[in-house]
């Protein structure tokens, strides 16, 4: 083959590769930007028609909440800060209890036999159903009651996913570790926990999402600050635009935090081929 023919083949291959990349980029734009934008516009038009609220009303309410505040004078940033504080505390407790307990239940038959039925009996109870009991338990401590509701919502997804991940550890990997004289601590820290890592992170992401939803519901029972409380008081004074603006902000914050978890997962679990977005 002559040099000119080689150059022509190289150019032809590069052209085909460029077309494939362009086609892939075009498909990505359609699937990730255009179609979601169309769906959001359709949903917005439906909401605007049903509530008789325009986009200008929502934007105006959002700006007013950010610069002036609500009827009590609290700025939007204060509500966001308080909601994030509550959910971070509750989620931290859920992760600190759910992950170790999930490892024990998944790894050791005794813990699975004793605690497994208890978990399965309590797991179907909706977190919102715990609100009256939380108020009775914490009485005047509203923050404690709200953190407890968040803990209940985030705990079970973290626990179940951790348990599942531990149980899915390949027995041959554990047998090889034992063959090389690994202790139980080494087996847990270097075989079981890394193997369960993807499921644990999935449980953390799901648990945070459920905890965030539970937080918004728990804040509606009181507290004076928070995005859930903001939705409630704006509805009571008849400011539909502010209600929709607060709801959109709740969704945006949850969306951003979910993607933050996703990229942390992709960074820490680089040995995986893909992490679905």
Question: Residue 24 pLDDT more than 70?
Answer: no
Superfamily grouping for domain 65-268? MetI-like (1.10.3720.10)
Count other Cβ atoms within 10 Å, centred on residue 3. Answer: 7
According to the model, what pLDDT value does residue 277 have? 43
User: pLDDT digits over 69-123, tens only?
Assistant: 777 778 888 888 988 999 999 999 999 999 999 999 999 989 888 988 898 888 8
User: pLDDT digits over 229-241, tens only?
Assistant: 888 888 877 788 8
Reported as a pLDDT band with limits 50, 70 and 90, residue 21 is low
Average pLDDT, the chain: 81
- 266, 154, 271, 153: which is closest to 204 by C-alpha? 154
> Which range in 82-96, 186-200, 214-228, 240-254 is most confidently predicted, on average pLDDT?
82-96
According to the model, what pLDDT value does residue 14 have? 53
Reported as a pLDDT band with limits 50, 70 and 90, residue 148 is very high
- 191, 192, 169: which is closest to 100 by C-alpha? 192
Q: Are 215 and 34 in contact (CB under 8 A)?
A: no
Residue 167 to residues 105, 151, 158, 275: CA-CA distances in angstroms? Answer: 9, 24, 14, 21
Cα gap 92→105, rounded to integer Å:
20
User: pLDDT digits over 155-182, tens only?
Assistant: 999 999 999 999 988 888 888 888 888 8
- 68, 51, 106, 80: which is closest to 243 by C-alpha? 51
User: pLDDT digits over 242-262, tens only?
Assistant: 888 888 888 888 888 888 888
Cα gap 215→150, rounded to integer Å:
6
Residue 168 phi/psi, 5-degree rounding, is -85, 0
Q: Are 106 and 165 in contact (CB under 8 A)?
A: yes
According to the model, what pLDDT value does residue 276 have? 45
Q: Are 239 and 61 in contact (CB under 8 A)?
A: yes
Q: What ranges do the domains of the chain cover?
A: 3-52, 65-268
Residue that is written with structure tokens 């799901």 in the block: 206
According to the model, what pLDDT value does residue 22 have? 53
């Amino acid at each position: 083959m002559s040099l000119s023919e080689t150059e022509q083949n190289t150019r032809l291959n590069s052209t085909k590769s460029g077309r494939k990349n362009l086609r892939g980029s075009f498909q990505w734009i359609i699937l990730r930007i255009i179609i979601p934008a169309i769906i959001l516009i359709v949903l917005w038009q439906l909401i605007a028609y049903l509530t008789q609220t325009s986009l200008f009303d929502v934007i105006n309410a959002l700006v007013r909440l950010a610069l002036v505040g609500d009827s009590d004078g609290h700025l939007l940033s204060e509500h966001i800060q308080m909601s994030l504080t509550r959910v971070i505390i509750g989620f931290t407790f859920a992760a600190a209890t759910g992950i170790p307990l999930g490892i024990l239940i998944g790894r050791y038959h005794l813990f699975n036999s004793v605690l497994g039925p208890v978990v399965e009996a309590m797991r179907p109870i909706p977190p919102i159903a715990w609100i009256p009991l939380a108020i009775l338990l914490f009485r005047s401590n509203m923050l404690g009651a709200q953190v407890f509701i968040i803990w209940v919502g985030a705990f079970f997804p973290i626990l179940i996913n951790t348990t599942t991940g531990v149980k899915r550890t390949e027995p041959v990997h554990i047998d090889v570790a034992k063959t090389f004289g690994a202790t139980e601590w080494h087996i847990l820290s270097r075989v079981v926990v890394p193997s369960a890592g993807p499921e644990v992170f999935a449980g953390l992401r799901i648990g945070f999402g459920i905890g965030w939803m539970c937080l918004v519901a728990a804040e509606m029972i009181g507290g004076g600050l928070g995005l859930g409380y903001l939705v409630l008081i704006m509805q009571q004074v008849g400011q539909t635009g502010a209600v929709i603006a607060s709801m959109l902000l709740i969704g945006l914050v949850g969306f951003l935090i979910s993607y933050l978890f996703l990229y942390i997962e992709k960074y820490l679990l680089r040995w995986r081929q893909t992490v679905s977005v």
